[in-house]
Structure 1
């Protein structure tokens, strides 16, 4: 029987992945890493056939052992600062007698342009046409170090990297139904009257519906179960197996305007005015402090602020060539229910 080990299975993305795999493959043995017994109990109450294991991305021996026992490992947890955990997973998979499969979650922050927000960027990154450049980015680029680690394991592990853009929509996750990036936006909005943009807010970003993204993981899992090596002339695994998860494109100003309209109707903000701020001010506002100095460039607040003003334009050519077909609702059509769920979660 196929065994799948899911890391990050209670997260926004991982929860959607777990949900769709358990529904599609009810006879597959699913092992899910959870932080504590309370989360394990909640997980089993929803997915009775799932086997939880208690640990985190610092539980190196557990990660290695569980990965070696599983034929397929899906890492849907954050990759940044978790190199040791990723290394343990790859070591476990690499020690199998049969070559295992590793589906790694990266992110399109790898290709962010300079954050000025003044006008849309013209470069659209294609995961087929631009694959050589994508897989040879400087190591200081976000996600590059962990991408490199995953690809380096290709001789002994079947590796594929999924790189989502901005994720939207409700997830069936038991812990994080609301997109984490939206939570950051709402945190910043709570500290300014109305909404905000960086400069003019004309920067363009791709979005992916969380359930569509989960279907991309499912597609790769199905190919792993069938031991398929290529589709449509493309290698499914290996040094070029990098899949952008992206569909709709929106200017940040359009996204914020739609979100603020929903927030205004629900009485969360009092007006729909968009305030123009720069990246440094966005970071300071996000922190909610009185400091006049911008946070360090490598801080999480600055990372989030840069996200507001940057371009993130990509094409999911590889994913679509192997059979991925996004079919979710438009970003704006999901905001009402997502904000409503956010308010419920906040009260709880």
Structure 2
């Protein structure tokens, strides 16, 4: 069987740090080379995996390193934000080395692609009508149609659950959610909070990546043709577990978790019973922007605020039908939120 090298991008992130150990356990025969930004992450991976994962010190701005590592790989897994990925370097490097060999890319996108169109989106039924002018769309189209690379796109909803990452233990929405809550002195929603969003557990999300890698490894080892329902322009996988309105999430999960934590309870100086404060989108944007102390952040603040106030409803039929991936939702939302609150309360106390 051919030797398979995996180039892993985003290993220190919230999703990537969860995917990496799951992948290592499921595919002990592949060689994994993981790009990390700082020496601390190099030391962490060396200690954690004892040589089973090779850290590569560098960033996505180091295009020579990205090109060299992609050229060595049969499979690239990107768990970093897609806007940071140097696609003009990565894709030709992956495709160009030994052009006759099958090459694979698993790309992390995001369900923000469908925010502007709030209905239930199915990744089989609606694959030909996905928006082409929204967040993530251009990167999705570029990677899925690049010749010589078999691409699968994983599009998570809001991720919930703790990660083994040493620097991104909790999902990206929570620092801003906690910041606005502290600033307001009470829990809040954007608008009326009737928007329905979908959550997915970090560990169950990681299993989708593992299944995709298993399929790619099988294609390489057996020399078989890829399934066009998994790879290529149709290889788009919504990753969502269960739905809840943001008002329900805030009142029934976030507020009780804050009230049970002695440190976090201090953030609720203006809280009146179980009431949820309704804020305009602009108010939330301005509050999040305050975290940046005038150092940019306009685009990010708008993106997060919009996400908190927009419906994000998806149905991941493709993963279930073609890979057998079906998130159970067994991880209790209250336990996950409790862990988030505890983490940020501990950070506040330092």
TM-score, length basis structure 2: 0.88
Mapped contact 1:248–1:330 kept (Cα < 8 A): no
| Structure 1 pair 229–280 and aligned structure 2 pair: CA distance change class (3 A) | farther
How far apart, in 1, do the equivalents of 2:67 and 2:255 lie?
Answer: 45
How far apart, in 1, do the equivalents of 2:47 and 2:69 lie?
Answer: 22
Alignment of 1:271-290 (within 5 A): 271=271, 272-288=274-290
How far apart, in 1, do the equivalents of 2:192 and 2:283 lie?
Answer: 14
Q: Secondary structure at the match of 2:164?
A: coil
Runs of 4+ in 1 over 4 A off after TM superposition: 228-231, 345-348
**RMSD after superposition:** 2.0
How far apart, in 2, do the equivalents of 1:263 and 1:129 lie?
Answer: 40
Alignment of 1:130-149 (within 5 A): 130-134=126-130, 137-139=131-133, 141-149=134-142
1:170 aligns with 2:162: yes
How far apart, in 1, do the equivalents of 2:40 and 2:57 lie?
Answer: 10
1:112 aligns with 2:115: yes
| Structure 1 pair 23–174 and aligned structure 2 pair: CA distance change class (3 A) | farther
Mapped contact 1:160–1:238 kept (Cα < 8 A): yes
Match of 2:75 among 72, 75, 78: 72
Counterpart for residue 203 of structure 2: 211
Counterpart for residue 118 of structure 1: none
1:230 is displaced (CA, Å) by 5.6
Alignment of 1:1-348 (within 5 A): 1-48=3-50, 49-80=52-83, 82-83=84-85, 85-97=86-98, 98-113=101-116, 121=118, 123-134=119-130, 137-139=131-133, 141-153=134-146, 155-227=147-219, 229=225, 235-257=229-251, 258-267=253-262, 268=264, 269-270=267-268, 271=271, 272-288=274-290, 299-322=299-322, 323-327=324-328, 328-345=330-347
Mapped contact 2:27–2:214 kept (Cα < 8 A): no
1:325 is displaced (CA, Å) by 2.3
1:113 is displaced (CA, Å) by 3.1
Deviations 1:175-211 (A, max 9, x none): 2121121222112212112100112100000111010
| Structure 1 pair 138–235 and aligned structure 2 pair: CA distance change class (3 A) | closer
How far apart, in 1, do the equivalents of 2:55 and 2:209 lie?
Answer: 20
1:317 is displaced (CA, Å) by 0.5
| Structure 1 pair 101–165 and aligned structure 2 pair: CA distance change class (3 A) | same
How far apart, in 2, do the equivalents of 1:345 and 1:265 lie?
Answer: 17
Mapped contact 1:191–1:286 kept (Cα < 8 A): no
Q: Secondary structure at the match of 2:87?
A: helix
Mapped contact 2:144–2:150 kept (Cα < 8 A): no
1:274 is displaced (CA, Å) by 1.4
| Structure 1 pair 73–345 and aligned structure 2 pair: CA distance change class (3 A) | farther
Mapped contact 2:196–2:310 kept (Cα < 8 A): yes
Deviations 1:236-290 (A, max 9, x none): 101110000001001011111211210121131333531101101111122238x
Q: Which runs of 5+ in 1 are unaligned?
A: 115-120
Q: Which runs of 5+ in 2 are unaligned?
A: none
How far apart, in 2, do the equivalents of 1:16 and 1:86 lie?
Answer: 24
How far apart, in 2, do the equivalents of 1:38 and 1:164 lie?
Answer: 28
How far apart, in 1, do the equivalents of 2:80 and 2:317 lie?
Answer: 24
The count of residues paired between Structure 1 and Structure 2 equals 328
Instruction: Tell which deviates more after alignment, 124-133 or 168-177.
Output: 168-177
